[in-house]
Amino acid sequence: MTRSPGFALAALFLVVAGMRSQLSGLPPLLPQVEAEFGLSHSWGGFLLSLSFVTMGIGALAAPVVRRSAGSVRGITFTTAVIVLSGVARAVAPSAAAVTAIGIPLGLATGLQTALLPVVTKERLAQLATSVYVIGISVGSGVAVAAAAPIAAATGGWRATVLIFAAITALLAIPWLFVDQAPRPRTDGRTTASLWSRSAVALPIAIFSLQSALFFGLSTWLPSAYIERGWTATNAGLLGSALLVSSVIGSAAIAPLARGRESTGHWLIVAALIAVVASVGLVVFPDAGWTWTMLAGASTGALLVLSLKLPLDLFEDARDVAALSGFMLAFGYWTGGAAPFMLGVLRDMSGNFNASFGSLGVLSLGLLLIAAWLTPRLRAA
Protein backbone atom coordinates (compact mmCIF):
# COMPACT_ATOMS: atom_id res chain seq x y z
CA MET A 1 0.00 0.00 0.00
CA THR A 2 1.17 3.51 -0.69
CA ARG A 3 -0.38 4.65 2.60
CA SER A 4 -0.20 3.19 6.07
CA PRO A 5 -2.27 0.09 6.91
CA GLY A 6 -4.35 2.25 9.22
CA PHE A 7 -5.22 4.58 6.32
CA ALA A 8 -6.22 1.62 4.15
CA LEU A 9 -8.47 0.19 6.86
CA ALA A 10 -10.09 3.59 7.44
CA ALA A 11 -10.67 4.02 3.71
CA LEU A 12 -12.17 0.53 3.53
CA PHE A 13 -14.53 1.29 6.41
CA LEU A 14 -15.70 4.53 4.83
CA VAL A 15 -16.28 3.16 1.34
CA VAL A 16 -18.35 0.22 2.60
CA ALA A 17 -20.27 2.44 5.02
CA GLY A 18 -21.74 4.23 2.01
CA MET A 19 -22.20 1.13 -0.11
CA ARG A 20 -25.65 0.04 1.12
CA SER A 21 -27.28 3.44 1.71
CA GLN A 22 -29.35 3.25 -1.47
CA LEU A 23 -30.69 -0.20 -0.57
CA SER A 24 -30.95 0.04 3.20
CA GLY A 25 -32.38 3.56 3.20
CA LEU A 26 -35.21 2.71 0.79
CA PRO A 27 -37.59 0.61 2.99
CA PRO A 28 -38.60 3.56 5.24
CA LEU A 29 -39.24 5.54 2.04
CA LEU A 30 -41.34 2.85 0.34
CA PRO A 31 -44.70 4.29 1.47
CA GLN A 32 -43.80 7.58 -0.25
CA VAL A 33 -42.62 5.85 -3.42
CA GLU A 34 -45.74 3.69 -3.52
CA ALA A 35 -47.99 6.71 -2.95
CA GLU A 36 -46.33 8.80 -5.69
CA PHE A 37 -46.64 6.13 -8.36
CA GLY A 38 -49.71 4.29 -7.08
CA LEU A 39 -47.79 1.08 -6.45
CA SER A 40 -49.07 -1.92 -4.52
CA HIS A 41 -47.10 -3.59 -1.75
CA SER A 42 -46.28 -6.37 -4.21
CA TRP A 43 -44.71 -3.90 -6.61
CA GLY A 44 -42.89 -2.17 -3.79
CA GLY A 45 -41.48 -5.53 -2.73
CA PHE A 46 -40.46 -6.25 -6.32
CA LEU A 47 -38.66 -2.88 -6.43
CA LEU A 48 -36.33 -4.09 -3.68
CA SER A 49 -36.24 -7.74 -4.73
CA LEU A 50 -34.86 -6.83 -8.15
CA SER A 51 -31.81 -5.21 -6.57
CA PHE A 52 -31.23 -8.13 -4.22
CA VAL A 53 -31.49 -10.73 -7.00
CA THR A 54 -29.09 -8.83 -9.26
CA MET A 55 -26.67 -8.63 -6.33
CA GLY A 56 -26.28 -12.40 -6.63
CA ILE A 57 -25.48 -12.09 -10.34
CA GLY A 58 -22.97 -9.35 -9.63
CA ALA A 59 -21.23 -11.47 -6.98
CA LEU A 60 -20.52 -14.18 -9.55
CA ALA A 61 -18.56 -11.68 -11.67
CA ALA A 62 -15.97 -11.07 -8.96
CA PRO A 63 -13.32 -13.51 -10.31
CA VAL A 64 -13.47 -11.91 -13.78
CA VAL A 65 -13.26 -8.36 -12.42
CA ARG A 66 -10.42 -9.33 -10.09
CA ARG A 67 -8.38 -10.76 -12.97
CA SER A 68 -9.11 -7.93 -15.42
CA ALA A 69 -9.11 -4.81 -13.23
CA GLY A 70 -7.96 -5.80 -9.74
CA SER A 71 -9.94 -5.75 -6.54
CA VAL A 72 -9.22 -2.12 -5.58
CA ARG A 73 -10.19 -0.76 -9.00
CA GLY A 74 -13.25 -2.99 -8.96
CA ILE A 75 -14.43 -1.47 -5.68
CA THR A 76 -13.82 2.04 -7.05
CA PHE A 77 -15.84 1.26 -10.19
CA THR A 78 -18.76 -0.30 -8.32
CA THR A 79 -18.91 2.67 -5.95
CA ALA A 80 -19.23 4.99 -8.95
CA VAL A 81 -22.09 2.88 -10.31
CA ILE A 82 -23.85 2.96 -6.92
CA VAL A 83 -23.56 6.76 -6.77
CA LEU A 84 -24.80 7.23 -10.34
CA SER A 85 -27.69 4.84 -9.71
CA GLY A 86 -28.78 6.96 -6.75
CA VAL A 87 -28.66 10.15 -8.83
CA ALA A 88 -30.62 8.50 -11.64
CA ARG A 89 -33.28 7.17 -9.26
CA ALA A 90 -33.70 10.62 -7.69
CA VAL A 91 -34.76 12.07 -11.06
CA ALA A 92 -36.53 8.98 -12.46
CA PRO A 93 -39.80 10.01 -14.15
CA SER A 94 -41.74 6.78 -13.72
CA ALA A 95 -42.17 3.68 -11.59
CA ALA A 96 -40.63 1.59 -14.37
CA ALA A 97 -37.51 3.78 -14.37
CA VAL A 98 -37.22 3.67 -10.56
CA THR A 99 -37.45 -0.10 -10.71
CA ALA A 100 -35.06 -0.58 -13.65
CA ILE A 101 -32.35 1.43 -11.89
CA GLY A 102 -32.32 -1.34 -9.30
CA ILE A 103 -30.53 -3.56 -11.85
CA PRO A 104 -27.18 -1.69 -12.07
CA LEU A 105 -27.49 -0.80 -8.39
CA GLY A 106 -27.83 -4.46 -7.44
CA LEU A 107 -25.10 -5.66 -9.80
CA ALA A 108 -22.62 -3.11 -8.44
CA THR A 109 -23.50 -3.76 -4.79
CA GLY A 110 -23.21 -7.53 -5.16
CA LEU A 111 -19.92 -7.28 -7.04
CA GLN A 112 -18.45 -4.90 -4.48
CA THR A 113 -19.49 -7.17 -1.61
CA ALA A 114 -17.84 -10.15 -3.30
CA LEU A 115 -14.64 -8.16 -3.86
CA LEU A 116 -14.29 -7.22 -0.19
CA PRO A 117 -12.90 -10.59 0.99
CA VAL A 118 -10.64 -10.61 -2.08
CA VAL A 119 -9.07 -7.25 -1.28
CA THR A 120 -8.79 -8.33 2.36
CA LYS A 121 -6.95 -11.52 1.49
CA GLU A 122 -4.68 -9.91 -1.10
CA ARG A 123 -3.78 -6.64 0.56
CA LEU A 124 -4.92 -6.25 4.16
CA ALA A 125 -4.68 -8.03 7.49
CA GLN A 126 -7.44 -10.34 8.70
CA LEU A 127 -8.73 -7.49 10.87
CA ALA A 128 -10.13 -5.95 7.69
CA THR A 129 -12.90 -8.55 7.65
CA SER A 130 -14.31 -7.19 10.90
CA VAL A 131 -13.76 -3.64 9.66
CA TYR A 132 -15.86 -4.04 6.52
CA VAL A 133 -18.60 -6.09 8.21
CA ILE A 134 -19.01 -3.40 10.87
CA GLY A 135 -18.78 -0.68 8.20
CA ILE A 136 -21.61 -2.20 6.18
CA SER A 137 -23.76 -2.64 9.28
CA VAL A 138 -23.13 0.88 10.59
CA GLY A 139 -23.76 2.47 7.20
CA SER A 140 -26.94 0.48 6.70
CA GLY A 141 -28.19 1.29 10.20
CA VAL A 142 -27.59 5.01 9.78
CA ALA A 143 -29.35 4.98 6.39
CA VAL A 144 -32.42 3.24 7.82
CA ALA A 145 -32.61 5.59 10.81
CA ALA A 146 -31.96 8.78 8.82
CA ALA A 147 -34.08 8.15 5.74
CA ALA A 148 -37.46 9.25 7.13
CA PRO A 149 -36.15 12.34 9.01
CA ILE A 150 -34.20 13.49 5.94
CA ALA A 151 -37.27 12.99 3.76
CA ALA A 152 -39.38 15.00 6.21
CA ALA A 153 -36.83 17.81 6.27
CA THR A 154 -36.18 17.94 2.52
CA GLY A 155 -39.63 17.33 1.10
CA GLY A 156 -39.62 13.70 0.00
CA TRP A 157 -37.86 10.52 -0.95
CA ARG A 158 -36.13 11.90 -4.06
CA ALA A 159 -34.02 14.41 -2.15
CA THR A 160 -33.16 11.71 0.39
CA VAL A 161 -31.89 9.33 -2.29
CA LEU A 162 -29.81 12.13 -3.82
CA ILE A 163 -28.31 13.02 -0.43
CA PHE A 164 -27.39 9.36 0.13
CA ALA A 165 -25.64 9.31 -3.27
CA ALA A 166 -23.63 12.42 -2.35
CA ILE A 167 -22.62 10.96 1.01
CA THR A 168 -21.51 7.71 -0.64
CA ALA A 169 -19.33 9.68 -3.06
CA LEU A 170 -17.74 11.70 -0.28
CA LEU A 171 -17.03 8.63 1.84
CA ALA A 172 -15.31 6.98 -1.12
CA ILE A 173 -12.75 9.76 -1.64
CA PRO A 174 -10.06 8.24 0.66
CA TRP A 175 -10.36 4.96 -1.25
CA LEU A 176 -9.07 6.73 -4.37
CA PHE A 177 -5.69 7.08 -2.63
CA VAL A 178 -5.31 3.37 -1.90
CA ASP A 179 -2.71 1.64 -4.06
CA GLN A 180 -4.37 0.55 -7.31
CA ALA A 181 -1.64 -1.78 -8.58
CA PRO A 182 -2.96 -5.36 -8.73
CA ARG A 183 -0.97 -7.99 -6.91
CA PRO A 184 -0.57 -11.11 -9.06
CA ARG A 185 -2.03 -14.30 -7.67
CA THR A 186 -2.57 -17.76 -9.16
CA ASP A 187 -5.66 -19.91 -8.73
CA GLY A 188 -6.45 -22.34 -11.54
CA ARG A 189 -8.92 -24.34 -9.48
CA THR A 190 -12.14 -25.67 -10.97
CA THR A 191 -15.29 -25.75 -8.86
CA ALA A 192 -16.93 -28.66 -10.68
CA SER A 193 -15.87 -31.22 -8.09
CA LEU A 194 -17.30 -29.09 -5.30
CA TRP A 195 -20.86 -29.94 -6.26
CA SER A 196 -20.21 -33.68 -5.94
CA ARG A 197 -19.94 -33.32 -2.16
CA SER A 198 -23.20 -33.74 -0.27
CA ALA A 199 -22.27 -31.24 2.43
CA VAL A 200 -22.25 -28.35 -0.04
CA ALA A 201 -26.04 -27.95 -0.13
CA LEU A 202 -26.41 -27.50 3.64
CA PRO A 203 -24.41 -24.28 4.13
CA ILE A 204 -25.97 -22.84 0.97
CA ALA A 205 -29.43 -23.60 2.37
CA ILE A 206 -28.58 -22.07 5.76
CA PHE A 207 -27.12 -18.91 4.24
CA SER A 208 -30.05 -18.58 1.84
CA LEU A 209 -32.67 -18.93 4.58
CA GLN A 210 -30.95 -16.46 6.90
CA SER A 211 -30.72 -14.02 3.97
CA ALA A 212 -34.45 -14.35 3.33
CA LEU A 213 -35.13 -13.80 7.03
CA PHE A 214 -32.94 -10.71 7.30
CA PHE A 215 -33.89 -9.08 3.99
CA GLY A 216 -37.56 -9.78 4.62
CA LEU A 217 -37.49 -8.16 8.05
CA SER A 218 -35.30 -5.21 7.07
CA THR A 219 -37.59 -4.45 4.13
CA TRP A 220 -41.04 -4.71 5.67
CA LEU A 221 -40.59 -4.21 9.41
CA PRO A 222 -40.76 -0.39 9.19
CA SER A 223 -43.79 -0.50 6.87
CA ALA A 224 -45.57 -2.99 9.11
CA TYR A 225 -45.27 -0.76 12.14
CA ILE A 226 -46.26 2.34 10.19
CA GLU A 227 -49.48 0.48 9.43
CA ARG A 228 -49.84 -0.22 13.16
CA GLY A 229 -49.79 3.50 13.89
CA TRP A 230 -46.11 4.23 14.46
CA THR A 231 -44.58 7.36 12.97
CA ALA A 232 -42.26 6.93 10.00
CA THR A 233 -39.33 8.11 12.13
CA ASN A 234 -39.98 5.60 14.93
CA ALA A 235 -40.53 2.82 12.41
CA GLY A 236 -37.22 3.73 10.79
CA LEU A 237 -35.54 3.56 14.17
CA LEU A 238 -37.03 0.09 14.63
CA GLY A 239 -35.36 -0.95 11.38
CA SER A 240 -32.13 0.58 12.62
CA ALA A 241 -32.46 -1.40 15.86
CA LEU A 242 -32.63 -4.56 13.74
CA LEU A 243 -29.27 -3.69 12.20
CA VAL A 244 -27.66 -2.60 15.48
CA SER A 245 -28.69 -5.80 17.23
CA SER A 246 -27.41 -7.71 14.20
CA VAL A 247 -23.98 -6.18 14.73
CA ILE A 248 -24.15 -7.11 18.41
CA GLY A 249 -25.11 -10.67 17.52
CA SER A 250 -22.25 -10.92 15.02
CA ALA A 251 -19.71 -9.62 17.51
CA ALA A 252 -20.98 -11.78 20.37
CA ILE A 253 -21.00 -15.07 18.48
CA ALA A 254 -17.43 -14.88 17.15
CA PRO A 255 -15.63 -15.89 20.39
CA LEU A 256 -18.27 -18.53 21.19
CA ALA A 257 -18.11 -20.54 17.96
CA ARG A 258 -14.46 -21.45 17.73
CA GLY A 259 -14.68 -25.12 16.81
CA ARG A 260 -16.70 -27.10 14.28
CA GLU A 261 -18.97 -28.70 16.85
CA SER A 262 -19.71 -25.39 18.58
CA THR A 263 -20.67 -23.87 15.20
CA GLY A 264 -23.47 -26.39 14.84
CA HIS A 265 -24.69 -25.93 18.40
CA TRP A 266 -24.84 -22.13 18.08
CA LEU A 267 -26.58 -22.43 14.72
CA ILE A 268 -29.36 -24.29 16.51
CA VAL A 269 -29.56 -21.67 19.26
CA ALA A 270 -29.61 -18.74 16.81
CA ALA A 271 -32.26 -20.40 14.64
CA LEU A 272 -34.42 -21.08 17.70
CA ILE A 273 -34.23 -17.41 18.70
CA ALA A 274 -35.26 -16.45 15.16
CA VAL A 275 -38.33 -18.69 15.44
CA VAL A 276 -39.33 -17.05 18.73
CA ALA A 277 -38.85 -13.53 17.34
CA SER A 278 -40.82 -14.20 14.16
CA VAL A 279 -43.73 -15.75 16.03
CA GLY A 280 -43.62 -12.92 18.57
CA LEU A 281 -44.08 -10.30 15.85
CA VAL A 282 -47.40 -12.00 14.98
CA VAL A 283 -48.69 -13.05 18.39
CA PHE A 284 -47.65 -10.02 20.46
CA PRO A 285 -46.71 -7.19 18.05
CA ASP A 286 -46.79 -4.50 20.75
CA ALA A 287 -43.44 -5.83 21.99
CA GLY A 288 -41.93 -4.84 18.65
CA TRP A 289 -38.66 -3.59 20.12
CA THR A 290 -38.06 -6.88 21.93
CA TRP A 291 -38.78 -9.07 18.91
CA THR A 292 -36.74 -6.80 16.66
CA MET A 293 -33.69 -6.97 18.92
CA LEU A 294 -33.98 -10.76 19.18
CA ALA A 295 -34.43 -11.11 15.42
CA GLY A 296 -31.46 -8.85 14.74
CA ALA A 297 -29.19 -10.68 17.17
CA SER A 298 -30.15 -14.05 15.70
CA THR A 299 -29.65 -12.98 12.08
CA GLY A 300 -26.31 -11.40 12.94
CA ALA A 301 -25.16 -14.61 14.61
CA LEU A 302 -26.52 -16.71 11.75
CA LEU A 303 -24.60 -14.60 9.24
CA VAL A 304 -21.27 -15.13 10.98
CA LEU A 305 -21.93 -18.82 11.59
CA SER A 306 -23.02 -19.49 8.02
CA LEU A 307 -19.96 -17.73 6.60
CA LYS A 308 -17.83 -19.88 8.91
CA LEU A 309 -19.27 -23.14 7.58
CA PRO A 310 -17.02 -23.42 4.49
CA LEU A 311 -13.98 -23.10 6.77
CA ASP A 312 -15.31 -25.85 9.03
CA LEU A 313 -16.26 -28.22 6.22
CA PHE A 314 -13.28 -27.88 3.84
CA GLU A 315 -9.54 -27.70 4.35
CA ASP A 316 -8.56 -26.51 0.87
CA ALA A 317 -8.74 -22.71 0.56
CA ARG A 318 -9.91 -22.97 -3.04
CA ASP A 319 -12.90 -25.07 -1.99
CA VAL A 320 -13.61 -22.56 0.77
CA ALA A 321 -13.51 -19.66 -1.71
CA ALA A 322 -15.72 -21.44 -4.24
CA LEU A 323 -18.36 -22.43 -1.69
CA SER A 324 -18.37 -18.94 -0.20
CA GLY A 325 -19.03 -17.46 -3.64
CA PHE A 326 -21.94 -19.79 -4.32
CA MET A 327 -23.37 -19.13 -0.86
CA LEU A 328 -23.29 -15.38 -1.49
CA ALA A 329 -24.99 -15.68 -4.87
CA PHE A 330 -27.73 -18.09 -3.76
CA GLY A 331 -28.20 -16.11 -0.56
CA TYR A 332 -28.81 -12.88 -2.46
CA TRP A 333 -31.23 -14.59 -4.83
CA THR A 334 -33.24 -16.14 -2.04
CA GLY A 335 -33.06 -12.99 0.05
CA GLY A 336 -34.03 -10.95 -2.98
CA ALA A 337 -37.18 -12.98 -3.53
CA ALA A 338 -38.26 -12.60 0.10
CA PRO A 339 -39.41 -8.93 0.01
CA PHE A 340 -41.54 -9.60 -3.08
CA MET A 341 -43.15 -12.74 -1.66
CA LEU A 342 -43.80 -11.07 1.69
CA GLY A 343 -45.33 -8.11 -0.14
CA VAL A 344 -47.64 -10.50 -2.02
CA LEU A 345 -48.68 -12.12 1.27
CA ARG A 346 -49.38 -8.66 2.71
CA ASP A 347 -51.62 -7.73 -0.23
CA MET A 348 -53.46 -11.06 -0.12
CA SER A 349 -54.07 -11.07 3.64
CA GLY A 350 -54.49 -7.35 4.32
CA ASN A 351 -51.81 -7.19 7.03
CA PHE A 352 -48.29 -8.36 7.76
CA ASN A 353 -49.17 -11.27 10.07
CA ALA A 354 -48.98 -13.82 7.28
CA SER A 355 -45.69 -12.32 6.08
CA PHE A 356 -44.04 -12.53 9.50
CA GLY A 357 -45.59 -15.94 10.13
CA SER A 358 -43.94 -17.24 6.97
CA LEU A 359 -40.61 -15.99 8.32
CA GLY A 360 -41.28 -18.14 11.37
CA VAL A 361 -41.64 -21.13 9.05
CA LEU A 362 -38.32 -20.26 7.38
CA SER A 363 -36.69 -19.99 10.78
CA LEU A 364 -38.04 -23.42 11.69
CA GLY A 365 -36.49 -24.75 8.49
CA LEU A 366 -33.19 -23.19 9.54
CA LEU A 367 -33.47 -24.93 12.88
CA LEU A 368 -34.05 -28.34 11.27
CA ILE A 369 -31.17 -27.93 8.81
CA ALA A 370 -28.84 -26.80 11.59
CA ALA A 371 -29.76 -29.88 13.62
CA TRP A 372 -29.07 -32.06 10.56
CA LEU A 373 -25.74 -30.37 9.85
CA THR A 374 -24.33 -30.53 13.38
CA PRO A 375 -23.25 -34.21 13.30
CA ARG A 376 -21.65 -33.68 9.89
CA LEU A 377 -19.61 -30.81 11.29
CA ARG A 378 -18.47 -33.06 14.11
CA ALA A 379 -17.36 -35.69 11.59
CA ALA A 380 -15.68 -33.23 9.18
Is residue 183 scored above 60 in pLDDT?
A: no
Least-confidence region, from 58-62, 260-264, 293-297, 328-332: 260-264
pLDDT on residue 83? 95
Q: Decide if 10 contacts 128 (C-beta within 8 A).
A: no
DSSP 257: -
pLDDT tens per residue across span 1-29: 456 777 888 898 999 999 988 888 888 88
Of 123, 145, 178, at which residue does a domain stop? Answer: 178
Q: Would you say residue 262 lies in a domain? A: yes
Q: How far is CA 169 from the centre of its chain?
A: 20
Residue 191 domain flag: no
**Of 120, 144, 178, which one is at a domain's C-terminal end?**
178
Tell whether the model's pLDDT for residue 121 goes beyond 70. no
Q: For residues 125 and 53, is the Cβ–Cβ distance under 8 A?
A: no
In this structure, are 10 and 51 located in the same domain?
yes
Same domain? For 277 and 150 the reply is no
User: Are residues 149 and 234 both part of a single domain?
Assistant: no
Q: What is the pLDDT of residue 184?
A: 43
192 has pLDDT over 60? no
Give the C-alpha separation, 278 to 266, whole Å: 18
Question: Pick from 178, 208, 227: which residue ends a domain?
Answer: 178
Q: Do 239 and 306 reside in the same domain of the chain? A: yes
In a domain? residue 248: yes
pLDDT band for position 45 (50/70/90)? confident
Q: What is the DSSP string of 210-229?
A: HHHHHHHHHHHHHHHHHHTT
Q: What residue ranges in 218-288 does DSSP mark as E strands?
A: none
Q: Are residues 271 and 347 in the same domain?
A: yes
Number of structural domains (the chain) is 2
Does 169 share its domain with 202?
A: no
Task: Encode pLDDT of 128-178 as tens digits.
Answer: 666 777 788 788 878 888 898 999 999 889 999 999 999 999 999 999 988
Query: CA 219, CA 38: separation in Å to the nearest integer?
Result: 19
Distance CA 49, CA 215 (A): 9
Burial 193-230 (b: 16+ CB within 10 A, else e): ebeeeebbebbbbbbbbbbbbbbbbbbbbbbbbbbeeb
CA-based radius of gyration for the chain: 20
The verdict on 141 and 227 lying in the same domain is no
Residues 115 and 237 in one domain: no
Looking at the domain assignment, is residue 306 inside a domain? yes
Which residues contact residue 91 at a Cβ distance below 8 angstroms, ignoring those fewer than 6 apart?
Answer: 158
Lowest-confidence region among 135-149, 249-263, 346-360: 249-263
Residues 172 and 92 in one domain: yes
What's the chain's average pLDDT? 82
pLDDT at residue 379 in the model:
56
pLDDT reported for residue 181: 54
CATH of the domain at 17: 1.20.1250.20
**Do 347 and 229 sit in the same domain of this protein?**
yes
Instruction: Name residue 62's amino acid.
Output: A
Q: Span 87-95, mean pLDDT? A: 91
Q: Is residue 187 part of a domain?
A: no
Flag whether the pTM goes above 0.75: no
Domain of 157, in residue numbers? 1-178
Residues 125 and 5 in one domain: yes
| Helix/strand/coil for 245 | helix
Give the relative orientation of helices 201-227 and 232-253 as an angle to the nearest 10 degrees: 150
174 and 201 co-located in one domain: no
pLDDT at 145: 81
In a domain, 192, yes or no: no
